[in-house]
Structure 1
Amino acid sequence: MPARLRTALVGLVALLTTAATVAAAAPSAATAPAAPGEQRPGWTLRPAPGDGSRPYAYAEGAPGAVLEDRLTVTNPGTAPLTVRLRPADDPEQGPTERPAQGAAQGVGRWIALAAPAVTVPPRTRADVPYTLTVPAGAAPGDHPAAVLATVTDGAEGRPAQETAVRIRLRVTGPALAALSVEGLAAEGATLRYTLVNRGNTVLEPRVLLTADGLLGTAFRRAARGVPAELRPGQRVAVSETWRGAPALDRVDVRVSATAAGEARAAASVTVTFVPWARLATAALLAAALALLARRAVRRRRSRAGPAASAPQPGTERHLTRAGT
């Protein structure tokens, strides 16, 4: 082998050896810890397989059944991601409404996670199995719950990133759809009432408002501010302002609520619309005009003076006869 070729091969081998040594000594980007304050946008917690095909986890079983499922944590970032998990009773509760230290008080206690936390490598997803044990005395119907996931980036003053997966559990047995409208009241043109789910199934209520006055039907339309979903035992207060309310009328307002399963409820209230401010203004104006008219009449009488008294009939004839 020529000397130049032998020298080039020896140099190339040495260069490759040095590069391999440096690469082994340097920390890998895939395993390097995240810098404090680094954002990890895009991480998700979803029902397995984590592709978004299931908007929520659904389970169904009889009392005493043990149901199994999995959650998927996806980390599209460039740093490892540690996610803390905990069961919750209601996925729609705000952070200040949840029990202290994440202790579930209701259906959340039926959920057992395989691990309270999981570390997901970059550009990877990890599955977390869990079991849902239905108590022997669980009532039939729908029982909503959730699993909350929290990630803290380590920066002071920066809130933790939190998301949730909803779990809808259906305990088999007789289903009861019941709905009620309570506390209907009217304060002027503002209507207030409460929708209550009295059954054991999740309801999607539809509410119709009708108002019949002395002059006919004032309106007939769907109510605003009605929740899209009403869970068993849930109470939702609804307030709505009647735009274009009559100025003077007596109106019977009726709230009719319906939902699947032949759930029906209704309530009514009578509202009297009287323009008290306008009436008071008109009364004050009328009183002022009457007072001015009275004063004007008095002034005319005082200017004319006392009227001369006319002679009595027969008086002049009587005086003439007396002088003759």
Structure 2
Amino acid sequence: MPSAQSAARPAARSAAGVLGLAALTLLATAPRASAAEGWSLAPAGDGRPSFYAEGAPGTVLQDTVSVTNSGSHPVTVRLTGTGTGTGTGTGVPVTFAEPTVRVPARTRADVPFTMTVPAGAAPGDRSGTLLAKDADGRTATARIRLHVGGPALSALTVEHVAVHGDRITYDLVNRGTTVLVPKLAVRARGLFGRVLLDRAARTLPVRLAPGTRTGLSEPWPGRPALDAVDIRLTATAADGAHDTAGTEARFVPWGAVAGTAGALTAGAAVTVVRLRRRRAGRPAEPPPTDTYTDRDRDTDRDTDVELTGAVR
């Protein structure tokens, strides 16, 4: 006889209809549920190998899982929902009516549970696992597949393009509702439109889930030593997703500039010393006469300033 915790399958389905919850259907290609020693875990009724559900974002889905104890002693198992997402999802959130179930010998307990499709879930498939574990650490599992309905939208952006040393860094952001496998083309032009880098679009080793961002970089070992460069990155993906972004970079060989500046400074110092020595060795000027005017004095000062400017 079933325990007091057991729920009949017709009653569970009737409750689902009253609550307006989406029905679950068979996924024939999924693997069958597993069994531990003396007990097993499987979808309730109809011999389904696994759970399959469909619903729009925000929908609450309901089904029932059976824990069957074929042994001669009672067993207590704890139920959890686990697993990582596939496709466009990040897993299936599961809530059990009774997370811990005691099943008498030769008895089956039917435990209702719900799956809530997140309000912001992107269309596509998600996967998960129902896990049952007894006091001895033995486990059994049942697979879940959830299809989230809604329109598919492909959108991709390229952001934060920059040059750091011999690498071009950038971010790719999936702004749509589908998984994207992007391609990237890189082009860089120097002064007067000279092409410095031209890489055709190629597939990147990343898969972008909806709403995710990833930081990437492109090597540029042959970048110029002296130039002003316009860099453009173009990303594309399936269903027309595309975007172009870029940045400007100025390459200056600061070591050479510093050496040139040092040489100019040293030359300036030598010139100043020579000018001063020349001035020190000049014969004394005759005392001013009555015809030596303020204008003449201004002319001398102008000459001093002009010589100093030449030294710079």
TM-score, normalisation: structure 2: 0.49
In our comparison, the structure showing a higher alpha carbon Rg is 1
